[in-house]
A and B are shown apart, each in its own frame.
Chain A
Amino acid sequence: GQQLNQSPQSMFIQEGEDVSMNCTSSSIFNTWLWYKQDPGEGPVLLIALYKAGELTSNGRLTAQFGTTRKDSFLNISASIPSDVGIYFCAGQEAQGGSEKLVFGKGTKLTVNP
């Protein structure tokens, strides 16, 4: 099945630093989504991207849909302690009109105050 490669697996940063994580796929996607999961909770949607090249911001978060349609990145600026959690990328394949979301393995973010 389709696999998404998400990196890095984990990050340890100081409060105030910027963070960048990315996701790549072996096939073309029509949609890229970024989720955050807190312990004991379900993933919460942060940003949705629908067009190649699209750059979208949500507060301190910025995500881009790669021009090849095979990758996406998420940046967090000026990190704060509540940014701690696991960030997942997810994508919907272009072929077959499938609504299936394929997820990356996640990036675990730790922010030291």
Chain B
Amino acid sequence: DAGVIQSPRHEVTEMGQEVTLRCKPISGHNSLFWYRQTMMRGLELLIYFNNNVPIDDSGMPEDRFSAKMPNASFSTLKIQPSEPRDSAVYFCASSPITGYSPAFFGQGTRLTVV
């Protein structure tokens, strides 16, 4: 079975550019999560969706960040404009049922903003 698929695996962009990260959750999973991982702050939840609806975006750092889930099999995380401090590994994860189920992670997108 395919796991959570993220693209690209690596992204290098210049400050001020728009960045779009993509995620395909595991088929049949109802919840989708976007996390950011840095050495300083560890794994931080940015936003999560349940049945394609954003439930909690309190972790989104600022208005430059936005996330969408137009259907059950696709989600995007967009940063516009990007800044060097956005450099991190961004993970997408999905879980099979609503409430109290473990999340399964993709391999992540390593973003470098120069």
Contact A101 B108 (CB under 8 A): no
The total of chain A residues at the interface (CB under 8 A) is: 25
Evaluate contact between B45 and A44: CB separation under 8 angstroms. no
How many Cβ-Cβ contacts under 8 Å join chain A to chain B?
A: 53
Are B42 and A100 interface neighbours, CB within 8 A? no
Interface membership of chain B positions 30-60, coded 1 if the CB is closer than 8 angstroms to chain A and 0 otherwise: 0101010000001101001010000110100
Which segment of B61-69, B73-81, B91-99 sits at the interface? B91-99
Query: What separation, in Å, do the CA atoms of A100 and B44 have in the docked complex?
Result: 10
Interface string of A83-113 (1 = CB under 8 A from B): 0000010001000011111111110000000
Q: How many residues does chain B have at the interface if contact means C-beta atoms less than 8 Å apart?
A: 26
Q: Do the beta carbons of B105 and A42 come within 8 Å of each other?
A: yes
Question: A101 with B106: in contact, given A42-B91, A88-B43, A106-B42 (CB under 8 Å)?
Answer: no
Query: Looking at A1, A30, A31, A43, which has the most chain B CB atoms within 10 Å of its CB?
Result: A43
Pick the residue among B55, B58, B91, B106 that contacts A99 (CB under 8 A): B55
Distance in angstroms between the alpha carbons of A105 and B108 in the assembled complex: 18
A33 touches which one: B4, B35, B102, B108 (CB < 8 A)? B102
**Closest Cβ–Cβ distance, residue B55 to chain A (whole Å):** 7
Q: Are A99 and B42 in contact (CB under 8 A)?
A: no
Asked if A100 and B100 make an inter-chain contact with CB atoms under 8 angstroms apart, the answer reads: no
**In the complex, chain B residues whose CB is within 8 Å of the CB of A78:** none
Which of these, B4, B50, B98, B103, contacts A101 with CB under 8 Å?
Answer: B103
Given contacts A41-B107, A99-B95, is CB(A48)–CB(B102) below 8 Å? yes
Task: Kindly report which residue of chain B lies nearest to residue A49, judged by CB atoms.
Answer: B102
Which A residues are in CB contact (< 8 Å) with B42?
Answer: 103-106
